[in-house]
Chain A
């Protein structure tokens, strides 16, 4: 078991012929992920790498291949349109990797997805990985840009706003022989799809997830929100790390959403909320895995 995606998930890639999209499609195929379609308007009828059929629209790709999950690699100016097309086609899940989408576009996407069946991960995220059984976790479902080989099939769920910091935490687990059920990068933008809370709720319900790692950072209130829920509802051990204790207020720390504004969104407030909720907080990014393993 896992959450959101598994080895049988059929995936389409929006923007499969771009440099970045093509590179990561090849890596996902090499990982054993079922990439069954590409979507590039105007290139319908062609094949990607002589094996993956390309369609003009998301709806057509879904109808012809049965893919119900999409990953988006299109440039920022066109990303909102791509997400909305996937929502309109009633896909189950859309994972948007694109960084740099205007906030106003994401406000409209958030409005468009209300009441629809589609779930959105990202944007500005590394994607989602459910590790497989094979060597270097081969045979799993890798959607996005995370390195597949750092994973190992197992029972820890990871929910994070970061990319490389997630890899760091996952690698700490794998190096200690501890595997993961699913790792979800929810993204670093201020307006995005699934929140920490949405993902933690899914992990809480997943019988195969035995412990949860949350990686947060400064900005917004996503960490406080999930902490409050965990306090009253979560049955599984949870460890957390919050990046940005040393970040100066009023500056955007790389991620568009990582900013302390008006004294709000500080790491100190988030760490306090986690501790108050009984979550084990890692004192440094080097202790993320050990902090969880100690309480398991």
Chain B
């Protein structure tokens, strides 16, 4: 589960990681009031940051033409106008896709005098099944790019989950990053806080990019998390009700939310051929075969191993409500699941939702003979396919014909 930057920073702060003072605002007036407080505390700059579930905000462009989802402001007038330009507008970044994301909230934060930018992250190292802390002197950059360009600059520290993240490991990282001795003690505490956030919140990713070394008013150096990203393990949320409350339905596709209510795994894509499949691997492979025959999948949809007729019906409703969809491919391998039950689910769903879109059906395995007979006798406009290859070829053909028809009538 993704959460917002301001929520991630709150979690980090609760685990002892210093973050800049600031507040979340939903109106330009509120933003101006918060900025007024920060200027009053002596900060010379205030940062306004769009809160959406996507990276690349700083370089993003709003659909209203304004540039930058993150702005540095020197006075209240700038704060007001920038917050006004962001709130209620759609921000397009390299991670949002061309449709962009609506900015409903901004984070108004104190800006600090940066001396150095660092990167700190904790992820799972899947190859060994252990958490690893990744750090780098080149903060503020895309870490994957840095890793590709300058792999020596990345410092990795594998953590034994039974022991935890030890101070000596933190010191090894910090000395490797070239931090000054006076910063060592608070920095050890900070890195331990980052790891504890990962472990205790059951995150799959905690990332501070950048972590700033800055000059305090008294001339002392200090560290602060200027950006924060936390991704939580969906499977662990059942034991973290307080974290489940951070879910922002506005950031999710409405069709995906609807699907999750029926325990369906649905991901919307940009093509015109919808698919309905049992099992995640087979569902991915079905998308692949559509592409192989020259089509574009409109979605990923796994109805699960033991899909009920209700789930099949809900699945049809969801995939058919995507206006781009020109054909549907149903690919079911009935192992334990009986194909005749699926066939009845298909017939019921087509009748119930009055589906006019051509549907290619490939049912293989348990009771597939009875299922094929049921579909043939239903009188519905269903196209039977035998193998996955046959199904892929047929659905791409009907989708392209349908697309041409739509274009001709438009």
Which A residues are closer than 8 A to B by beta carbons?
Answer: 23-24, 27, 76-77, 100-108, 110-111, 145-147, 150, 160-168, 171, 188, 190-191, 215, 217-221, 225, 241, 243-248, 250-251, 253-258, 262-264, 267, 283-287
Contacts and interface: CB of A to CB of B under 8 A. Distances in A.
| CB-CB nearest 7 A-B residue pairs | A162-B281, A254-B280, A164-B279, A165-B281, A102-B236, A147-B335, A286-B389
A178 B161 CA distance: 45
A263 B144 contact: yes
A220 B282 CA distance: 18
A225 B128 CA distance: 12
18 contacts: A102-B202, A102-B239, A107-B161, A111-B162, A145-B336, A150-B335, A163-B280, A164-B277, A168-B285, A225-B127, A241-B285, A243-B282, A243-B285, A246-B290, A251-B267, A284-B389, A285-B282, A286-B389
B119 to A, nearest CB: 13
Contacts of B277: 164
B161 A111 contact: yes
Contact of B284 (A146, A254, A257, A284): A254
B124 A248 contact: no
A284 B333 contact: no
B160 interface: yes
A254 B126 contact: no
B129 A246 contact: no
A10 B288 CA distance: 40
Interface of B: 95, 124, 126-127, 129-131, 143-144, 160-162, 199, 202, 204, 233-236, 238-239, 265, 267, 269, 277-292, 297, 300, 302, 305, 333, 335-336, 364-366, 387-389, 392
A111 to B, nearest CB: 5
What's the dominant secondary structure at chain B's contact region?
Answer: mixed
A222 B312 CA distance: 33
A77 B282 contact: no
A104 B282 contact: no
Among B161, B281, B283, chain A packs the most CB atoms within 10 A around the CB of B281
B275 to A, nearest CB: 11
Nearest to A160: B281
B284 A253 contact: yes
A244 B124 contact: no
B288 A163 contact: no
B280 A188 contact: yes
Contacts of A160: 281
Contact of B239 (A77, A108, A220): A77
A243 B284 contact: yes
Contact of A27 (B124, B130, B289, B336): B336
Nearest to B295: A246
A256 B265 CA distance: 11
B306 to A, nearest CB: 8
B280 A255 contact: yes
B265 to A, nearest CB: 5
Contacts of B336: 23-24, 27, 145, 147
A18 B280 CA distance: 24
